[in-house]
Structure 1
């Protein structure tokens, strides 16, 4: 995997980390980059689960980053995905 999508030991990708910590510019930048890589890659990354079953959307909700929750929701995050 590339550095854009490489998970850490917990299955968190850079998008998971950016959503967790409320790093707005990183979330936007990563999603823009995924768009250039193609639709399948974009869908895979925006909805990818970490080892606990959390997507970037779950983490943005959990850590109270409403701007990121809204942005992810408006840009393809699947709100029906359940975590473990």
Structure 2
């Protein structure tokens, strides 16, 4: 697995989202996801939205994904 594939999956699954993903070992990744759809949602709900874009890859090809999920307004 690579960061670019994860970024593409997140952005395809959350229309209008911008994702930055990085990770050096191919199984542990970090991502910052900016999406208007996060407005009014708690962090857990935001994370679930991102995980839903990755489906079965979570816990499999992607062992760990640390997330920062923010709205465009929170991004400043």
Q: Report the TM-score, using the length of structure 2 for normalisation.
A: 0.31
Q: Which gives a bigger RCO, structure 1 or 2 (Cα 8 Å, sep 6+)?
A: 2
Query: Greater share of strand residues, 1 or 2?
Result: 2
Q: Report the TM-score, using the length of structure 1 for normalisation.
A: 0.29
